[in-house]
Every structure is written in structure tokens, then in C-alpha cells.
Structure 1
């Protein structure tokens, strides 16, 4: 691929020239016609992943090896989920490369820039090229805000879904939420929102189940609350295609200010809940 090798070499030269001005969001060292942007689909939320969308409008195929995303809002780079995989982006085509998000860095603000570094493979070897990437769906700033809020909440208590009791059709099931105070902080867990798959029946108002659980300094005993659940919908594809139905928005008050963060039930409870929904709705195996 001599033509591609020449493009890669030229792009590497541009990268060296723009390194000193990397704060410029328009800086790019990718070959002409190649662009990157970031997106997070519904299936990426629970495992805390996102995708680097690579578009190739050049005349040459592009082979991408390692991928990382550098962003001050995280405590390290987001790296390719399957580390050794290669992706070929045909001329006029695009690929989505999934990367794993590291923990957030809450010393940074919610807004920031993401720099994508691609390892481009050619007959002449491997070259790292970089460009700033657009957050097309605008998900990174809210994600950083939510997770930093939760990090502050964990100074007072940790929250986790710790059990699930299924029910017969027509009756509410019970999802256990365990709040474990640290003894050193305070917060109020005010409520939990329903999802696109799960509701609270008559127990909730406006899709919110009230908790009003206060955590005070000195509290150390775990508190378990049982949250009633009924399916919000019973069409089979809602279960078969579920991506976010077991990720709940938890409402809190911290230092007098309201906020929300997301809490996933975990893969084991997710499987049990989806099985129960199918049985409750009458289309289970």
C-alpha cells in the first residue's frame, strides 16, 4: 500500500508540527478525508464504554490497530476493549471501535476536549496519528457530572442493588437497594426513577419512588429498602432488545443541592429481572 504509506508519513509530519499547539481543537494529524467522533449507544452505558466512530472518505483503505482516547475528565486514557483487534476502514466507509472508559477525574471540569490517538498500520509499519474528536451526542459532560456526584455521595454512603424477589403475574416484585453509610458524611437519597422497562405500579408517583433516606455523620449500619417493581411494558421486543431497562436514576440531595446519578443492577440481577418480566408478561420460555 505505497499510497497509504505516503499519506501516513505525511500525516506523521503534520502531527509533529502541531504537537506544540495541541490545545487547538481544530488540530488534526489524520490523513485528509479521515475523521473521528465519539458516541455512546444504549448498550455502552451499563459497561461504561463508548465508541470511536472512524470515517474514511479518502481513496485508500485504512487499517487501525490500537486506539486510545485522552481526556482530562478521566484519570487515564480510554483504551480499545479488545486490545489486539485491527479494523479496516474501506474508502467511503466507517467503523465503530469500542473503548473502555476509565474512572472519572473529578478535579477537572465537566466540559473538556477528547483527543483520539489511532495506531495506523501499513506496509511500512505502525504510526500513531491523532485528532480531536467531537462528542456528537453530548454525553461526556453529563456522564462526568453524574459520576463525580456519585463520588461525592460515596463519602457519606455507598449504594448498590443487592437482591431481587420475583413475583407472580399481576403482583409487584421487590428490588433491594442497600445503602451503606461510611460514618463520615451526610446525604439524602430522595428517590429513584423508573426506567423504560420497569415501573413502581401504584407505589410510585410520576415515575419516581420516594425513599427520603437520610444519612448522617456517625451512621454506619447498612439500610435495606425494598422497591416494588412491575413491568412498564409487556411487548416481547422490549425485553429481547433491552439495553437500559435495569439502569436506574437515583435522586439525591448533597449539601442542600439536588442531583442524580445512574445505578446499574449488575449483570446477574439484570438476567433475573428480565426473566421475571418475560414470565410476568406471559411470553417467557
Structure 2
């Protein structure tokens, strides 16, 4: 059994923009040789992401001169894990020759530390409060423009701790209106001290369609995720909060109606 990658075969990992929502990672297998490569099994693991995440759709053929992405679902990061290198374990054959390789892949875009930091930031947020979007929104008109008012609620767990919601940023689908200045833009300050709150803290986002391009809905993967900057006992950074499928669909309809086109 061969335990080293043959010449012309390389492996790295990355998270594409369509992978964020389901917390997945791509194991990219590049085959620059002259014969097909057939993947029999593949899995990703690291001290930070355990247990190992296996690729389910095997066997998979990587044709000569191509690269194939093997999507695996990452487990949540282990925040107390000791540092260590990620590992890809892969079994494959080329022209009947079997390989079983365990290796440290390149982190193509340097994303693994960021994914772990976001996971752990979310864990520290959850210690102090849950933050959820409402199950619906209200359509209105503000300054002659169609708008949607979507309420979020931060509900303390009762454990106390450090948690402030500092700002929120919109998305490719919707911009935000600052209720104080009336300015429509990408980011709105919130400055909510949730760690000191004695009860639920509601706050409302006023959404304005960001673009009247049908492709913004047709190709959307991130338009109904909102980027919150928070401060926790770990650090200051971002978390991403989405909405329910029903609210997502209703927001698509709202943008379509506001822009004067039919998305169906």
C-alpha cells in the first residue's frame, strides 16, 4: 500500500462562499496526472474539529487534468483544544494501484483559524444569551421607499457575563437604515449591553432592498444572513445570524415586489 501522494496529485482544503450556511469544508483533490484517480474514502480532522468529517459520496472519480471538491460537514470547533495541524486521510486508486495517504493539507485561504474563532465566539455568545430573528416582518414605507422591519430578540440565559452587540451589517440583498440618522447603508450601530440585561432585549432592523437585480435573489446564498459585531469574553468579532426559511422566502418576495419584478 502506497502512503505518499504520487507526482501530479495534490490536496488542499478551503471553505467556499456557498459552504458557510451548512458549516462545510471542501477537500480539493487535484489530479495533474494522465490517468483517472478514484477516491475510495476521504475524511478531514484536526484537534480543533473532532470527530473526523467523512466524505460520503464515494467512489468519486477525479479525471486527469481536473480538480474535484469533496464536501464534508465540519463538526463545531472544540474551543479548549490544544493546537495541532489539520489532517486529511484519503484512500484512492490510480490504474489499479492503491494509495492510503494521511497528510497535512494546505489551508488554501487560511480559513481554518477563522472558522474555529467564529464557532467559539458563537459558543461564548450562547453562554450569555440567545439571539433570534422574529418569525415574520412588517412591510412599510419610509421616506417614500419600501422597507421591511425585522425584529430580533436577545434573551439572556441568566448566567451573566460579557456580551455586547456593537453593530450590524446588511447583506447583498438588503441594506440597513439607521433609525437615528435616517442614513441607509451597510452598517448600523446598536451598542446593546446584553450581559447586564435583566430580561429580553428586542431590537428592530429596518431593511431596504440593496439591489434591484433579479440575480441577487436567484443566486443568493448569503442575503438573509446578518453580520453582527459582538464583544464576548473571548474577543470582539463577528457572528452571522440567519432567518427562518419562511422569512427568507418572504424577504425574497418583498425585494421582488419592491423592485417591480416577479421572482417566480
- TM-score normalised over the length of structure 1: 0.80
Does structure 2 conserve the Cα–Cα contact (< 8 Å) formed by 1:166 and 1:273?
A: no
Distance 1:218 1:252, change over 3 A: closer
Indicate how the Cα distance of structure 1 residues 94 and 255 shifts in structure 2: closer, same or farther if over 3 A, else same.
closer
Pick from 13, 25, 48: which aligns with 1:38?
A: 13
The verdict on how the C-alpha distance between 1:117 and 1:267 changes in structure 2, with shifts beyond 3 A counting, is farther
Alpha carbons of structure 1 residues 257 and 142: separation in structure 2 relative to 1, 3 Å: closer
Q: How does 1:1-285 map to 2 (within 5 A)?
A: 9=1, 11=2, 15=3, 29-80=4-55, 83-108=56-81, 112-121=84-93, 128-167=100-139, 170-186=145-161, 187-203=163-179, 207-216=186-195, 219=198, 221-255=199-233, 257-284=235-262, 285=264
Give, in whole Å, the separation in 2 of the partners of 1:271 and 1:209.
24
| 1:46 Cα deviation from its structure 2 partner | 1.0
Confirm or deny: 8 A CA contact 1:164 1:173 kept in the other structure: no
Shift of 1:45: 1.0
Gaps of 5+ in 2: none
**Between Structure 1 and Structure 2, which shows a larger proportion of helix residues?**
1
CA distance in 2, matches of 1:171, 1:89: 49
Taking the aligned partners of 1:228 and 1:123, their CA distance within structure 2 comes to 59
Q: Contact 2:36 / 2:61 at 8 angstroms: preserved in 1?
A: yes
Detail structure 1 runs of 4+ shifted over 4 Å in the superposition.
121-127
Q: Distance in 1 between matches of 2:42 and 2:238?
A: 31
Q: Is the 8 A contact 2:36 2:94 kept in 1?
A: no
Tell me, what secondary structure is at the counterpart of 1:155?
Answer: helix
What stretches of structure 1 of length at least 5 have no aligned partner?
1-8, 16-28
1:131 shift after superposition = 2.2
The structure with more strand, counted as a fraction of residues: 2
Matches of 2:237 and 2:34 in 1, distance apart?
Answer: 48
Q: Is the 8 A contact 1:184 1:217 kept in 2?
A: no
CA contact (8 A) 2:230 2:236 kept: yes
Q: TM-score, normalized by length of structure 2? A: 0.86
| Compared CA separation, residues 129 and 241, structure 1 to 2 (3 A) | same
CA shift at 1:255, angstroms? 4.4
2:178 and 2:193 map into 1 onto residues whose CA distance is 24
Contact 2:53/2:75, CA 8 A, preserved across alignment: yes
For residues 45 and 235 of structure 2, what CA distance do their matches in structure 1 show?
31
- Number of equivalent positions: 256
Mark the CA change 1:134 to 1:224 in structure 2 (over 3 Å): closer, same or farther.
Answer: same
